[in-house]
């Protein structure tokens, strides 16, 4: 692919990279939200379990201590430790939970049980204590800062079940070590997964865009090739897919075809015009040269040459005017949008004019319209179309000088017919009479003042107003031109 050209200061960033980045970012957001929700649900559940285990253990130990001691005096570190590690002797053979030693009944290794005497001195601890005694605490579980992270703690007052005397205090800590271990592992796994997801999504996005956007490269290459050489016959290669990009490729091809047609038409037009202008210019030049050599003193030659030059200049004048009309006719749908005219009035007007100007012809108007019908055509243009058709009918009728004009309507359109009984047009010529500069008999048409542009002007005007023009003709019997135009309905 050729190097991308950009305006100064603009950096080219491939759509594929943008796509890959977009996909990666999208996945990142989705993953983070998902991971956070999952981790939060998981940790909440874990913490609830830890809390529960702390409370159960505290309740069990309290119950065992309260029921085992009668007075504060018996409550010393040795007997408390004994109670923690020995099963009650009379229950040695029973296996129930309540008959195990306290240490055995504690299943959670993160728990540290601290027993204090009534004065708050530490009598016994099952592990490393992180907190000092939190007097005044109730039976609630609190989350407080330990040595390195937050821990759970709960506090109970110990009271002999038999005497009701305060024995001391119990403070149970849950260091949440396994919880933080789980949390760290979870965070690490999430992070690794996140990196993996971003890389995979980015790669997938890039690969997908590479495959899906490949036609863009073909379109780009074609446009660049045509820009460098507008007459190059290159098109976007056919794609075996049916999506927006194949549609775009097709549209680019159609646009290039149309552009090519315009270029061809332009070239053809210039060559036609030069060809048409060459004849009068050659004639004028011939006469002027002749005058220059011999005619200065020959009034007869002078007179005939001036007449010929005048005739040719007026022909050139009409040719230029018709070419102007032709080029203007191409833009009627833009420049004359919203114009309207009453078709009955225009047709009647032209019919009356022709009847007056050509008294040797028999004109007949067959009007089927019962009321006035409006067409979306600028008045002068409708008149111009009718004049072109009537002029031709007059020009190409030699023997039977009769012209019929008809006016009728269909559901949504109105039809104007101009029929003559003159020389007619053969089927091969009939296909081409609407082409620019086309004349069936060039010499004869020229003699009659024709440039071969009348019918092409009429066709462009009619089509510019979304109508149609057609021809039915038979050589030697006459021709019928039909113009159909849409009707403007009054609301």
Chain positions contacting ligand ADP, by CB under 6 A: 388, 392-393, 396, 420, 422-425, 433, 438-440, 445, 450-456, 479
Residue 25 CA, chain-centre distance (Å), reads 22
Distance CA 301, CA 289 (A): 12
Nearest residue to ligand ADP by CB is: 450
**C-alpha dist (Å) from residue 61 to 78, 128, 153, 172:** 16, 18, 14, 9
Nearest-approach distance from CB 384 to ligand ADP, in angstroms: 12
Query: Which residues have a Cβ under 8 Å from the Cβ of 394 and sit 6 or more positions away?
Result: 354, 358, 361, 403, 420
Nearest-approach distance from CB 479 to ligand ADP, in angstroms: 4
Nearest-approach distance from CB 424 to ligand ADP, in angstroms: 6
Distance CA 372, CA 61 (A): 110
Q: Which residue has the tokens 């997908």?
A: 208
Nearest-approach distance from CB 451 to ligand ADP, in angstroms: 5
Which of 205, 450 has the CB closer to ligand ADP?
Answer: 450
Which of 202, 450 has the CB closer to ligand ADP?
Answer: 450
Which of 249, 450 has the CB closer to ligand ADP?
Answer: 450
Nearest-approach distance from CB 405 to ligand ADP, in angstroms: 13
Which of 167, 319 has the CB closer to ligand ADP?
Answer: 319
114 DSSP β-pair partners: 125, 171
Nearest-approach distance from CB 309 to ligand ADP, in angstroms: 22
Say which DSSP state 213 is in: T
Residue 292: Cβ within 10 Å count: 9
User: How would DSSP label each residue in 123-173?
Assistant: EEESS---S---TT--S-EEEEE-SSSEEEEEEEEEE-TTT--EEEEEEEE
Nearest-approach distance from CB 343 to ligand ADP, in angstroms: 21
Which of 84, 421 has the CB closer to ligand ADP?
Answer: 421
Distance CA 255, CA 219 (A): 12
Nearest alpha carbon to residue 367 among 377, 353, 352? 352
Which of 240, 447 has the CB closer to ligand ADP?
Answer: 447
Which of 454, 464 has the CB closer to ligand ADP?
Answer: 454
Three-state DSSP class for residue 402: strand
Which of 170, 416 has the CB closer to ligand ADP?
Answer: 416
Nearest-approach distance from CB 456 to ligand ADP, in angstroms: 6
Beta-carbon-side half-sphere exposure of residue 1 (alpha carbons within 13 Å): 13
């Amino acid at each position: 692919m050729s190097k991308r050209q950009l305006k100064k200061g603009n950096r080219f960033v491939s759509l594929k990279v943008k796509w890959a980045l977009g996909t990666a970012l999208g996945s990142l957001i989705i993953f983070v939200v998902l991971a956070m929700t999952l981790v939060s649900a998981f940790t909440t559940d874990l913490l609830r379990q830890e809390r529960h285990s702390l409370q159960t253990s505290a309740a069990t130990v309290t119950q065992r201590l309260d029921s085992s001691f009668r007075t504060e005096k018996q409550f010393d570190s040795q007997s408390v430790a004994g109670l923690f590690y020995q099963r009650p002797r009379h229950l040695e053979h029973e296996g129930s939970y309540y008959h195990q030693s306290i240490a055995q009944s504690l299943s959670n290794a993160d728990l540290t049980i601290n027993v204090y005497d009534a004065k708050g001195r530490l009598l016994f601890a099952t592990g490393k204590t992180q907190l000092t005694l939190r007097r005044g605490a109730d039976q609630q579980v609190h989350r407080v800062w330990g040595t390195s992270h937050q821990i759970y703690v709960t506090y109970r007052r110990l009271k002999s079940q038999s005497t009701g005397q305060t024995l001391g205090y119990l403070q149970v800590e849950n260091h949440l070590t396994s919880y933080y271990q789980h949390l760290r592992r979870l965070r690490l796994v999430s992070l690794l997964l996140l990196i993996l997801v971003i890389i995979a999504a980015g790669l997938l996005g890039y690969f997908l865009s590479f495959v899906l956007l490949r036609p863009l490269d073909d379109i780009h290459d074609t446009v660049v090739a045509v820009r460098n050489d507008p007459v190059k016959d290159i098109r976007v290669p056919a794609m075996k897919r049916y999506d927006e990009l194949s549609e775009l490729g097709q549209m680019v091809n159609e646009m290039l075809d149309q552009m090519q047609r315009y270029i061809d038409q332009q070239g053809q037009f210039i060559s036609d015009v030069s060809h048409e202008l060459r004849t009068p210019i050659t004639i004028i030049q011939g006469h002027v040269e002749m005058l220059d050599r011999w005619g200065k003193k020959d009034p007869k030659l002078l007179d005939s040459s001036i007449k010929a030059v005048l005739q040719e200049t007026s022909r050139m004048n009409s040719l230029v005017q018709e070419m102007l009309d032709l080029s203007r006719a191409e833009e009627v749908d833009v420049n004359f949008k919203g114009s309207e005219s009453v078709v009955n009035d225009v047709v009647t007007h032209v019919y009356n004019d022709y009847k007056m100007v050509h008294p040797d012809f028999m004109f007949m108007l067959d009007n089927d319209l019962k009321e006035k019908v409006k067409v979306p055509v600028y008045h002068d243009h409708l008149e111009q179309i009718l004049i072109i058709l009537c002029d031709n009918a007059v020009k190409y009728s030699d023997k039977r000088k009769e012209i019929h004009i008809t006016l009728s309507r269909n559901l949504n359109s109105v039809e104007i017919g101009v029929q003559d009984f003159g020389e007619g047009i053969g089927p091969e010529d009939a296909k081409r009479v609407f082409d620019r500069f086309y004349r069936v008999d060039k010499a004869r048409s020229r003699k009659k003042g024709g440039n071969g542009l009348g019918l092409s002007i009429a066709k462009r005007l009619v089509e510019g107003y979304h109508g149609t023009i057609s021809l039915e003709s038979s050589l030697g019997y006459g021709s019928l031109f039909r113009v159909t135009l849409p009707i403007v309905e009054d609301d």
